A and B are shown apart, each in its own frame.
Chain A
Amino acid sequence: MSKIHRYLPNSVPEIKEKMMDEIGVSSIADLYSDVPDELVYKGSLQIPGPSTEAEVKKHVSDLLEENATLKCPPFMGGGVWPHYVPSVVDEVVHRAEFLTSYTPYQPEISQGMLQSIFEYQSLVSELVGLDVVNSSLYDWSTAVGEAALMSSRITRKTKVLVPDLMSPYRYSVLKTYIEPAGLSVEKVDHDEITGLMDLEDLKDKVDNETAVVYVENPSYMGFVEENAVDIGEIAHDHKALYVVGVDPTSLGLVKAPGDYGADMVCGEGQPLGNHMSYGGPLLGILACKHDNRFIRQMPGRIIGITETLKDQRRAYVMTLQTREQHIRREKATSNICSNQALCAVAAGVYLGLMGPTGMRELGETIMSRARYAQRKIGELPGVRAPIFNSFHFKEFTVNFQNKSIDEINKELRAKGIQAGIPLTKQFPSLGETSLFCVTEVHSKKHIDMLVSALKEALEV
């Protein structure tokens, strides 16, 4: 290519030649002389371009416009939820010094990122009620996988117990993660009326081989796991660890898991200032007690407080790196290197803006709106919402007795509404049931629009 490209400052022929001259290279091909001839690619890469910025902007925007225009945010959750992202959050994560830096290997010049991550750890620590939070994992699903592996390393046991109403995606990721380590996973039944974990079944299944009992609170079906305290006690009676998976937006109203017996917490930090973006990037939360047995087994980066050597000024640094792959290699607690640091910064900014009052208001707003939607939808003929008799947070199940979800969703889609994750394949025993989600971004107008669209769909 002889053309000069705006991203390539040395693509100017005179500059390039001068550089080659200075180091005694006669052609670029000289620099590839060690690539065996038969491996040199004879074709040219069939990728359109180069393009000007205006061309790229139009091309990609046009493609994005092919995504449907919805009348209101989707009424969908299940691990990624529509929430409002305050402008300050986006402003901060677009700062070049944060956005375009990498892992703070050189702490003296990276205090900004180090302190921001330390604050993220600290803010989440307050929310979940545990002292130690790592600097992020990929998402909730992989955090469950890592939590199970960590529990097994701590207890030297191999059985994992999970609720049978757990998110099937998280369950699938968990299975993929733990299979090579020889761990097994078993599902604990739920009470058919309340959806809560069946404590008798848990007592039957938990044994001295159980490394961890995992619950989700709120559950995948959206209800608060009222038995959470008892479940932890049963786990501890068998020297199993107790891990709770959380949606952090609930923690302004719901007790911190660390205060009801959780040894570890995992969860999805996306709703804290991160956009849905078709499911990624997300923010895997992992927290544990301040106990050396736990801390030593923690996967991923952790930022700690320290001081400058010369004048004892407070500063921040990556610590306990001897757990990590770049030092410990195959004996590391995990292979994770790149994580979701910027999403963690976003979560920190978000929690800083919210404060204690904001987190409580967030929870109340969500619950009020979700409860209104639940009531209105439940009043429709042939509809039951929710199917479980429990306290629900922002998600709730909706069962349709007279029409299939496929048909209903088709009619909603025609009206520019995406509502409900069909549970028909995920949980066939629940019949024509869909998982709806309502948050602070759904106004009364949005909810009423959904209800009337559902009403019409059911009448057709």
Chain B
Amino acid sequence: MTINFRQADWVEPLIFELSNKGRIGYQFPPLEPEINGSLDPENLIPETLQRIEAPDLPELSEIQVLRHYMHLSQMNYGVNSGLIYPLGSCTMKYNPIINEVLASHPKITGLHPMQEDETTQGILRILYTLKEYFLEITGMDDATLQPAAGAHGEWTGIMLIRKYHLENGELDKRNEIIVPDSAHGTNPASAHMAGFNTVEIQSNDSGTVDLEALTAAAGPQTAGLMLTNPNTIGVFEHDINEISKIVHDAGGLMYYDGANLNAIMGWCRPGDMGFDVIHSNLHKTFSTPHGGGGPGSGPVGVKDLLAEYLPVPGIVEDGGVYRLDWDKPKSIGKIHGFHGNVNVALKAYAYMVTLGGEGLKESSELSVLNANYVSRKLKDLKGYELTYDPEKPRKHEAVLSAAPMLEDTGVSALYVSKKLLDYGLHAPTTYFPLIVPEALMIEPTESEPVESLDAFIEAMTEINQLAYTNPEELLSAPHNTAVTKLDEVKAAHPKTICLSWRRFCQLMSEE
């Protein structure tokens, strides 16, 4: 490999340890005399609730705070600063800079969510149009942009299904949501939070929904099915029409987990596949940055039969004038304090018009080409295996199993991923989906030039060879990251667990 990667290692202290009494990092504009003279701040708070001792926050000058976080940023890996971030299911595509510039516009950052509609026509129009584009891409009838993340969207969607059965007088008996064993963990968790039991069905030999198992599981107790398509092994659910029919015939509704929407834009639409309710992740398919874990955005689209249950407020257009619509008597209620992650939605809007309908389709196609390029070049190596119909095309992601390598050499998927970090490449998603042993779930996205795909392939090939020739080198990885392998047991042990500086100081004083 030609890559010579070394991540910064600043051995950066905690911000509390950089404190020196008296320093300040920010200064407030002084109070005007008329305001300043008239009050005694000591008597503004009732005595029982006055804070006598100041919070134990660190005292630093501005440059110290800035450098501290600059140092920390250098000990992190982003898709815009790294080389490839093939984290399966997460669609780590390029996060365009122009979208950040637009999202910093004072006419969005300074907008209060309770301002009157007359003063917010610009953002309402953007949100309304984004919704229209979202419906165009997904083939649904109506949508809400309020869910703040994918899982929030899933829960919202299942709450809509719940409301539907409630209105039809069937909620009492329809208490089950079916999920395939390949589903994202959020699916059963969201169904549970919406008050349902989950029934897991096993995938068939192709890694897709087993129609017999589904038929057996579906019945008068079924509220719905949650399905990702293409699914989590990156394969299109070819029997989707039959799947929808089985669920609908049983009286259930179809939920689409849109985590993998990036594979199919312009090629097919969940709304045409029989799905009644869907979510999509703007931070995946529509390029908004993942922010180290969030904020994302998880809009939910529905067919007409669920539209009246959508959360309040909706956004409606009337003769070119946009307004929030609170008049939804059958709505499930509010699911977010205000209108969701609006600033994120703005970036997604900019992304959509940057690519346009044609460009979005091309993006999907190239994401699929990139995934197949990588998986076909790796699947025949001795230690890896493309489980479930290796000759079948993948969509935007592919799941390699390192099970053969583990058996031959003792090197597991974990060590493959750790060694990748040493090359300055991010690891794929590991150990998911659960139906693939030693899973390495690879999603390069369309943003990656063939050169970075080749670098990734070369690294994966070299790791594979090392496993068979010098496994010890893998078992001690990573070396080139800020820190080496961590003691995760200590972090979670009841005696040593420490989740804050406050606790850290207590533990230190006890020692």
Contact = CB atoms under 8 A, between A and B. Distances in A.
A327 B488 CA distance: 15
Interface stretch (A25-33, A157-165, A449-457): A25-33
A319 B338 CA distance: 31
Interface string B31-54: 110111011010011101111101
B330 interface: no
Contact of A105 (B24, B81, B87, B486): B87
B195 interface: yes
A23 B375 CA distance: 9
Given A281-B295, A360-B54, A371-B39, A74 B115 contact: yes
Given A63-B126, A278-B342, A126 B55 contact: yes
Nearest to A106: B427
A51 B96 CA distance: 13
A329 interface: yes
B393 A11 contact: no
A338 B283 contact: yes
B357 A45 contact: yes
Interface centre among A34, A90, A125, A254 (most CB of B within 10 A): A34
Contact of A99 (B78, B112, B354, B429): B78
A189 interface: no
Interface in A90-130: 90-113, 115-119, 121-123, 125-127
Given A60-B102, A136-B294, A354 B25 contact: yes
B295 to A, nearest CB: 4
A204 interface: no
Interface stretch (B103-111, B245-253, B466-474): B103-111
B484 interface: yes
Interface in A19-73: 19-20, 22-25, 28, 30-36, 38-41, 44-51, 53, 56-57, 59-61, 63-70, 73
A-B interface, 10 closest residue pairs, ranked by CB to CB distance from nearest: A49-B356, A279-B338, A180-B195, A279-B113, A45-B357, A342-B291, A112-B76, A341-B293, A66-B122, A353-B25
Given A8-B447, A64-B102, 15 more contacts: A10-B366, A23-B372, A25-B369, A53-B354, A63-B122, A88-B25, A88-B69, A97-B74, A111-B482, A170-B337, A276-B110, A281-B294, A341-B294, A355-B57, A413-B119
Nearest to B159: A176
Contacts of B482: 108-109, 111-112
Contact of B16 (A90, A121, A122): A122
A332 B60 contact: no
Contact of A354 (B26, B137, B373, B491): B26
Nearest to A445: B32
Interface in B87-144: 87, 90, 92, 94-96, 98, 100-105, 107-116, 118-123, 125-126, 133, 136-137, 139
Interface in A216-244: 217, 224, 226, 228-229
B268 A41 contact: yes
Nearest to A303: B499
Contacts of B476: 310
A319 B487 CA distance: 11
B276 interface: no
B459 interface: no
Nearest to A135: B293
B272 interface: yes
A209 interface: no
Nearest to A287: B500
A367 B350 contact: no
B417 to A, nearest CB: 7
A433 B103 CA distance: 34
A299 to B, nearest CB: 10
B467 to A, nearest CB: 19
B225 interface: no
24 contacts: A8-B359, A8-B366, A35-B268, A41-B272, A44-B357, A51-B354, A70-B119, A91-B66, A97-B77, A101-B79, A102-B85, A113-B293, A117-B293, A142-B336, A181-B195, A253-B44, A278-B112, A280-B295, A319-B499, A330-B189, A341-B293, A358-B25, A364-B41, A418-B115
Interface in B62-90: 62, 65-66, 68-81, 85, 87, 90
A51 B356 contact: yes
B285 interface: no
A108 B152 contact: no
Contact of A253 (B29, B45, B148, B338): B45
B238 interface: yes
Contacts of B500: 118, 121-122, 125, 131-133
Interface in B172-209: 184-186, 188-198
Contact of B341 (A93, A281, A335): A281
A126 B57 contact: yes
Interface stretch (A78-86, A380-388, A395-403): A78-86
Given A39-B268, A67-B121, A342-B291, A1 B361 contact: yes
B236 interface: yes
Interface string A326-352: 111111101111111111010011011
Contact of B267 (A5, A32, A418): A32
Contacts of A292: 494
B26 A358 contact: yes
Contacts of B491: 304-306, 317, 319
B149 A356 contact: no
Interface stretch (B7-15, B212-220, B300-308, B401-409): B7-15
A33 B235 CA distance: 11
A49 B359 contact: yes
Given A76-B115, A102-B292, A304-B497, A23 B120 contact: no
